[in-house]
Every structure is written in C-alpha cells, then in structure tokens.
C-alpha cells in the first residue's frame, strides 16, 4: 500500500504493482491493467521502490511450474550473486545503477543475480535520462564473423527488403546501403515467401555478394526458424539464425516455437551456420507482441519485454533488436510512448547482458513522425546502442513502415564521434567510400560495385 495526497492505494499482487507502476502505454490500457490515474501510478512507483529483490525473485509474474520462460529465467540465476543483493530494494538497485561511481565491471558483477522481473521493476523507477545514462555505462560485445559493440563504434543492419523477393532488387538495395556505409551489423532480409527454397535463394545471393566483394559482415534471412533450419540442413549458407521471441510460453506458442525447438535450432546453428561465431542468433522482440497474440497473462508490456531478454540470454545472441514502434498504436500510441519504450528496451536488454540494437520505427497509423524516430536514434546512440536498422529513404516498401534511412548512419557517427567496426571501416576506405572515419563524395553511389 502507498499514500498520495492523503489517498491510500492498495495493490493486491506484485504483478498488479508492476503493471500500475508502468509509464503510460496504450497496450496496458487495452489490457485493462494500467494505472487509472497519474496519482495511482506515482503511488505504485513509491510502493515498488520498497520491494526487495528477494520478493521479486520469489514471486515471478507467471509461476515457475506454469511457464517455461519463467523456468529459463529462474534457472539461469547464479545463487551466490543473487544472495549478495537479495535484500536490496528496487530503489537500492536504481541508486546503484545511476551512481556516477558505478562502473561497467561492477554492473557485470551483479548481472547474473538478477531476474527479468527485477530489471523490469527498476526500469519503472527510472527517468528517460536515467535509462540513457545507465545504458551508456554498459559495454556488450558479440562476435559472428565480426565483432560489434566495441567502444567508439556504432553499427547498422542493412535491410534491403523487396515486396517480390526479387534477388536483383535486393542486391541493388544492398549496393546502395553499403555505399552509404551501412551493413556492418548484418545484411538481413525479411522474405515475403516463407519457404526453405526462397530462404536458401536469399542466403545464397547475399553470401555470394559478401564473398565477391570481401565485405566484413554477416547475412541472415528472417523467415521462421523452422524454415531456416530446413534450408541450413540442405546446405544454405546462413551466418546466423533468426527468430522473434515473446515473454510468455503462450506467446511463444503463438510464434510456433518453444524452448525445446530453440535448443534444437541452437545446436544446429553452432554446427552448420557458415559464420565463425560463437554468437549465431539474431532475435527480435517488441512491446505489445504478447497482447496482440492474447498471450500476455495480465502482465504489463515492460515486464514481458524484459522476460524476452531473459529467454534470449540462454542462447547468447549476436544481435537482438526491439522493433519498438512496429507493432502499432494499439500498444504504443505516439512518439512519446515509442521513445520511452525504446529507452526501456535497450536498457533492459543491456542489463541482461544482451548486445542490443533497435529498429527505431513507426507505423503510418501512429501519432509519430520521422522527427520522433530521429530523436530516439540520437538518444539511443548516446545511450550506447550497438546498432540500428536502416532501410532505403527510411521507408520499408515490403513491410510498409518507417525507420532510419541508410544515410542516417553518417549523421549519427558524426554527432557522437563514432565509426563503423574497424574491419568494416577499413573495407569502406579500400572502396573509396570512407576516409578518416567520414564518408567521401563517392558515398551513396552504388556504381562503386560496378
């Protein structure tokens, strides 16, 4: 219970308290679990600040025996680390994370004692600036063919989708994106047709292009994981596997996956993917995914998103990005909610130890515009996001939504004195596209690949 303006507010469970303490999201309102007033939200934050990490560990939002995502999260906790911090309150954890003397090494030292519910809880007590500050202190690297996340670098996924899966159109868009310096995170294509044959065709096309031009990056085709597994078993050159994740067992069932399938795919990827590894997974998540599949279990969006990262951690991915504004205004109504969710997601992922990126994006029926997305990109570049997704002219003509554009990469590098990863920067210099860390006059001209 907490009191504001002489009014008592009572919360009947930690699940209710976590939902009520959330910043305003249309998805939580649609689910009927959001705070009914700002006063109730403040009271919930006040009450949540006094909850101990032990109470959160002992009361997961879905019981251990009912949900395999809960079991993955709980079983991954290192008990000696947890016992050192179990009596901390959520407020204590927040103070630790925003204290100017706290280092990345000290955050790493407690990471394995945290559950996803603890991380979601502290997120609800943090302002946007708190989230950016704490995120910026955490360095998370990962290696597939190349290594991303090193200090001083900012990477980009090149997303050359085509509404007809025409491989020549995909290659044309790939050449354009690379000519702007984008693509060191991955060349990743969302296919229209989810078949092993089409997946193999896209993987072979991108693999051959990468080999021909010596591009230091990795490829991925974002079909369903079972489709990719079949293609890889037939010899398709995939550098990593992809799959969308949810924060509940029921949500993952909607995606057609479970932990057993992911374990099987993980074993296959480590044996058969064409990259040197060891990180061979690309995951995507997004606030509202569970509600859209009627699999939210009465849990708020932030806590569910945090549980996605708890599940992803089991597979030590190379990339994980939230598609923050992609799911629509039913879950994140406007630019303000998208910006808040993007900051929450990158912070929560990094606190889990995940190499986080973001698709800073919005759908055309959302109260948001390109300025909101650029504001989020600037904020998350400051917060140390590993990578962003980029599409031609900020408009994905296959998925019909808006994101960052290929040419946004140069602006973010210049604003924050960042560069692409070292081998990719050297390759750009050899191609005459980059000099002394900045794009040359040849940038944006895909005929450099003629």
Cα 99 → chain centroid: 25
**Confidence at residue 8, expressed as pLDDT on a 0 to 100 scale:** 80
Task: Yes or no: say if 84 and 121 are a contact pair by the CB < 8 Å rule.
Answer: no
Render pLDDT for 161-202 as a digit per residue (tens, 0 to 9). Answer: 999 999 999 999 999 999 999 999 999 999 999 999 999 999
Q: Is 434 labelled as part of a ligand binding site? A: no
Q: Tell me: is residue 171 an annotated ligand-binding position.
A: no
Query: Residue 24 carries which DSSP code?
Result: P
Task: Kindly report whether the global pTM for this prediction surpasses the value 0.95.
Answer: yes
CA distance 437 to 118: 40
Q: pLDDT tens per residue, the chain (450 residues)?
A: 666 666 788 899 999 999 999 999 999 999 999 999 999 999 999 999 999 999 999 999 999 999 999 999 999 999 999 999 999 999 999 999 999 999 999 999 999 999 999 999 999 999 999 999 999 999 999 999 999 999 999 999 999 999 999 999 999 999 999 999 999 999 999 999 999 999 999 999 999 999 999 999 999 999 999 999 999 999 999 999 999 999 999 999 999 999 999 999 999 999 999 999 899 999 999 999 999 889 999 999 999 999 999 999 999 999 999 999 898 899 999 999 999 999 999 999 999 999 999 999 999 899 999 999 999 999 999 999 999 999 999 999 899 999 999 999 999 999 999 999 999 999 999 999 999 989 999 999 999 998
How far apart are alpha carbons 216 and 208 in whole angstroms?
Answer: 13
191 is in an annotated binding site: yes
pLDDT at 228: 98
Among 24, 115, 125, 111, which Cα is nearest to 61's? 115
74 marked as part of a ligand binding site = no
Q: Is 284 annotated as a binding residue?
A: yes
Q: Are 61 and 81 in contact (CB under 8 A)?
A: no
What b/e sequence results for 267-306 when a residue is b if at least 16 CB atoms lie within 10 Å of its CB, and e otherwise? Answer: ebbeebbbbebebbbbbbbbbbbbbbbebbbebbbbbbbb
158 marked among binding-site residues: yes
Query: How confident is the model at residue 168, as a pLDDT?
Result: 96
Q: Phi and psi of 27, rounded to 5°?
A: -65, -40
329 assigned ligand-binding residue = no
Strands (E), 159-253: 186-189, 219-221, 241-244
Q: Which helix (H) or strand (E) holds 358?
A: strand 356-358
Q: What pLDDT was estimated at residue 327? A: 87
pLDDT value for 5: 66
At a CB cut-off of 8 Å and minimum separation 6, what does 338 contact? 324, 325, 332, 362, 366, 368, 372, 373, 376
What the block records as the tokens of 194 is: 């989810």
* C-alpha dist (Å) from residue 428 to 154, 178, 183, 422: 15, 8, 11, 10
Confidence (pLDDT) at 1: 62
175 annotated ligand-binding residue:
no
């Amino acid at each position: 219970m907490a009191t504001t303006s002489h009014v008592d507010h009572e919360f009947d469970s930690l699940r209710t308290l976590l939902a009520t303490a959330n910043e305003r999201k249309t998805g939580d309102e649609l689910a009927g679990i959001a705070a009914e007033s700002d006063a109730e939200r403040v009271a919930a934050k006040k009450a949540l600040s006094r909850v101990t990490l032990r109470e959160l560990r002992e009361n997961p939002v879905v019981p251990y025996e009912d949900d395999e995502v809960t079991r993955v999260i709980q079983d991954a906790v290192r008990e000696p680390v947890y016992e050192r911090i179990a009596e901390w309150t959520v407020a204590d954890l927040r103070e630790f994370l925003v204290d100017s003397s706290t280092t990345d090494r000290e955050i790493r030292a407690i990471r394995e004692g945290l559950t996803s519910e603890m991380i979601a809880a502290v997120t609800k007590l943090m302002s946007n600036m708190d989230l950016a500050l704490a995120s910026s202190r955490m360095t998370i690297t990962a290696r597939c063919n190349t290594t991303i996340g090193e200090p001083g670098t900012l990477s980009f996924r090149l997303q050359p989708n085509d509404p007809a899966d025409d491989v020549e159109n995909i290659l044309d868009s790939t050449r354009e994106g690379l000519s702007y310096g984008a693509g060191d995170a991955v060349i990743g294509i969302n296919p229209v047709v989810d078949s092993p044959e089409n997946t193999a065709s896209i993987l072979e096309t991108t693999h051959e292009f990468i080999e021909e031009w010596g591009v230091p990056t990795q490829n991925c085709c974002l079909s369903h994981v079972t489709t990719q597994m079949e293609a890889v078993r037939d010899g398709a050159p995939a550098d990593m596997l992809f799959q969308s994740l949810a924060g509940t067992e029921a949500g993952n069932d909607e995606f057609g996956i479970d932990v057993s399938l992911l374990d099987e795919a993980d074993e296959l990827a480590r044996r058969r993917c064409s990259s040197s590894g060891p990180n061979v997974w690309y995951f995507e998540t997004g606030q509202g995914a569970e509600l859209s599949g009627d699999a939210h279990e009465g849990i708020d969006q932030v806590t569910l998103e945090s549980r996605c990262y708890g599940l992803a951690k089991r597979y030590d991915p190379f990339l994980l990005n939230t598609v923050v504004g992609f799911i629509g205004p039913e879950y994140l109504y406007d630019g303000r909610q998208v910006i808040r969710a993007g900051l929450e997601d990158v912070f929560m992922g990094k606190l889990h130890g995940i190499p986080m990126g973001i698709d800073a994006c919005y759908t055309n029926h959302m109260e948001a515009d390109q300025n909101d997305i650029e504001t989020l990109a600037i904020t998350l570049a400051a917060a140390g996001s590993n990578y962003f997704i980029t599409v031609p002219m900020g408009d994905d003509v296959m998925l019909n939504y808006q994101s960052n554009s290929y040419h946004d990469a140069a602006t973010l590098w210049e604003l924050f004195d960042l560069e692409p990863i070292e081998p990719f920067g050297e390759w750009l210099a050899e191609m005459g596209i980059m000099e002394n860390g900045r794009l040359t006059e040849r940038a944006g001209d895909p005929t450099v690949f003629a």
